[in-house]
Structure 1
């Protein structure tokens, strides 16, 4: 059984020159004078226990989608069918009364969710404890900070495990401690079969906890794929400055999707991972000296050129990144036809696993000013532990552990024996 089934979902806002024309539209006698679609022809499904990340620029239709799923908005076209109870944190303080206390708002919210009164009273102490706001729980909500509101809202929304949990950016307001606590509860719900829809601009969080991701652009579902693929596409959309900056997808080895974008004023010609002897290396030993070689060609004159390098783990999360802006090696006044070779030398202090390299050629420290070319999965390499002690994690640290053992009882005994001779 599907936890959620979305078919042809769309939402349009219509305006009329007069109230009479609006009433006439109810009987199909008049058409709207203006129609604005904020969401159009969206279809996808989710299975129990699946976590889906939702990405997109502001105004892409993400919040509208969630409101249609929860039923706070009615769709213009299509349907959203949920099998089970939905719990949502859509907007900070949404549904809360600022004049009521946290306890009263919690009671009211659970009541609206259809929780029986006797159950609500048993849940309130748990909500109070989880939110960790102390005596503020019995004070008006208007006295709360935004972080305290998030604590109460999340505690209420997750007081009873829902079949579908929707979180729309609200957790980004909370402090780091509560975010960790919230994600721990979310993972527990996932393991128990709760479907999670998670909207966030934090692409690392999307890649860390989501099974797949949806990318929205101008009210349409642009991409439904693995989180790392969708995040790369989203980042390229952010970098796209003009219509000439095209986004291209190439299928590489083992079906990997390589996303390339930019104006191509400066283009990447080749990317290689080299060992300490300068040989091409697909496998690198932990701690071994490694060089990343990037060959680029200037196709049009540019005033400045910056190379950016990002090493990512198998989930697409950045392990390390730097660029020639940070190292004060920006190239200036380049001519068309020039060839450039960048050698990025580093000790491969990484844990065993598969890593990828993303390369960016830009005009400054960020690709948001002018993106000449940005290529994810520009190179892929394997790290193996050949000569280091066994360790876990994605980073190798040359660790020394010192151990001292003492017997506190014998020390006391020695002191007692020496005591009389000192008199």
Structure 2
């Protein structure tokens, strides 16, 4: 079984004021160092027990790829330590280790040996590698003629042809067609069930939340947040809108979930209710019932343009549906402090049975990355029950009719 233990891990690179300083430092060692250290990541500590699945997220330049290179040993740390047990397979930079002039088959042999497979074992497994990669006759063509998606197919197929104790994946699965992405994530899920320890870097919220037990947010080369995938992803989304101003707060609700609120405060949501067809406030609704989501907003400071958006999420934080008044061509303009508005969104609640939450966002445009007046996760909770529909499974109610022709 595989495990990873990281203690005080850091990586720094030397920065010299000019090209002669490097030579002077080498030629005159008694003169002392002539460089400064630029820390890419610093003081990172966490552990993965056997069978854990952890997602790493963060903006570009946060240190995610550097961290994975330190864990896999392709880069030496400046400080701290990494201890890994079990057989490791890693997919880092796309095509890393592939020689462009060798064929896919030749590269498969080389890549297989790098992860500890014997030549005879690779020969035995080659039909499985070819079948999963599904690149046809290109397996015997030079890799330089491959598309990025074909390289990903072959690299993933080789890395996972034998179930590893530890699987490390860095954004690579974002390359390629949707069918192969589904097939790859299905294999990862199978490995998880069998006890593989997983460390994955991805910006795909659904992937992180469906596969991982917890998530780690890197910011400026340090661990900024660690917790459940929903909690960390909510904080990350809020942080993206607060680079210049505003604040991010997280509080524990009465239900034990972590609610994230952020924004600069020009406007705020004061009340949210869910109404049935009779206009009565409800917290429990039937599958497919016609409902109205009512959101009351108060303007605290003048805004030239106000957009309200909402997102419905399931209990795992996965997004069911979202929209905003920008996309609906209904923004409010030229609002003064003290103005109030009620937004009423009416729709059939075609969701499967379960508990759901509503996230609200007050912005000036289609995204909160420009002006984030207020972003509120877990702003409202409700339950959907199946009172009188035919039995079904899933998160959406798409009841079909059936015609059988014999």
Please give the alpha-carbon distance, in whole angstroms, between the structure 1 residues aligned to 2:272 and 2:27: 64
Is the 1:285–1:386 Cα contact (8 Å) retained in structure 2? yes
Is the 1:162–1:194 Cα contact (8 Å) retained in structure 2? yes
| Residue of structure 2 in register with 1:276 after alignment | 277
| Residue of structure 1 in register with 2:320 after alignment | 319
Shift of 1:93: 1.0
| Residue of structure 1 in register with 2:291 after alignment | 290
SS at match of 2:192: helix
Q: Mean alpha-carbon deviation: is it higher for 159-168 or for 301-310?
A: 159-168
Please give the alpha-carbon distance, in whole angstroms, between the structure 2 residues aligned to 1:22 and 1:148: 45
1:12 aligns with 2:16: no
| Residue of structure 2 in register with 1:21 after alignment | 25
Shift of 1:382: 0.7
- Within 5 Å, give how 1:105-184 maps onto structure 2: 105-184=107-186
1:371 aligns with 2:365: no
Please give the alpha-carbon distance, in whole angstroms, between the structure 1 residues aligned to 2:157 and 2:145: 18
Shift of 1:38: 0.7
Is the 2:62–2:219 Cα contact (8 Å) retained in structure 1? yes
Shift of 1:125: 2.5
1:389 aligns with 2:390: yes
Shift of 1:248: 1.0
| TM superposition score normalised by structure 2 | 0.95
* CA offsets 1:351-392 (integer angstroms, 9 cap, x no match): 110101000011011112211101010001111111212111
Q: Cα–Cα, structure 1 residues 263 and 95, in superposed 2: closer, same or farther, change >3 Å? A: same
Shift of 1:24: 7.3
Please give the alpha-carbon distance, in whole angstroms, between the structure 2 residues aligned to 1:267 and 1:145: 48
| Residue of structure 1 in register with 2:3 after alignment | 3
1:186 aligns with 2:188: yes
Q: Cα–Cα, structure 1 residues 38 and 337, in superposed 2: closer, same or farther, change >3 Å? A: same
SS at match of 2:226: strand
Please give the alpha-carbon distance, in whole angstroms, between the structure 1 residues aligned to 2:316 and 2:11: 34
Q: Mean alpha-carbon deviation: is it higher for 8-17 or for 259-268?
A: 8-17
Q: Cα–Cα, structure 1 residues 32 and 153, in superposed 2: closer, same or farther, change >3 Å? A: farther
Q: Cα–Cα, structure 1 residues 24 and 150, in superposed 2: closer, same or farther, change >3 Å? A: farther
Shift of 1:331: 0.5
Is the 1:312–1:320 Cα contact (8 Å) retained in structure 2? yes
Shift of 1:23: 7.7
Shift of 1:18: 2.4
SS at match of 2:282: coil
Is the 1:251–1:258 Cα contact (8 Å) retained in structure 2? yes
| TM superposition score normalised by structure 1 | 0.91
Q: Mean alpha-carbon deviation: is it higher for 329-338 or for 113-122?
A: 113-122
Please give the alpha-carbon distance, in whole angstroms, between the structure 2 residues aligned to 1:279 and 1:176: 43
SS at match of 1:186: helix
SS at match of 2:121: helix
Please give the alpha-carbon distance, in whole angstroms, between the structure 2 residues aligned to 1:29 and 1:110: 47
Q: Mean alpha-carbon deviation: is it higher for 119-128 or for 181-190?
A: 119-128
Q: How many residues align?
A: 402
Any stretches of 5+ residues in structure 1 without a counterpart?
407-423
Higher-Rg member (1/2): 1
SS at match of 1:235: helix
Shift of 1:73: 0.7
Is the 1:284–1:384 Cα contact (8 Å) retained in structure 2? yes
1:309 aligns with 2:313: no
Is the 1:295–1:342 Cα contact (8 Å) retained in structure 2? yes
Q: Mean alpha-carbon deviation: is it higher for 59-68 or for 317-326?
A: 317-326
1:334 aligns with 2:338: no
Shift of 1:15: 2.9
Shift of 1:126: 2.0
Is the 1:241–1:370 Cα contact (8 Å) retained in structure 2? no
- Within 5 Å, give how 1:26-105 maps onto structure 2: 30-31=32-33, 33-105=35-107
Please give the alpha-carbon distance, in whole angstroms, between the structure 1 residues aligned to 2:303 and 2:317: 30
| Residue of structure 2 in register with 1:257 after alignment | 258
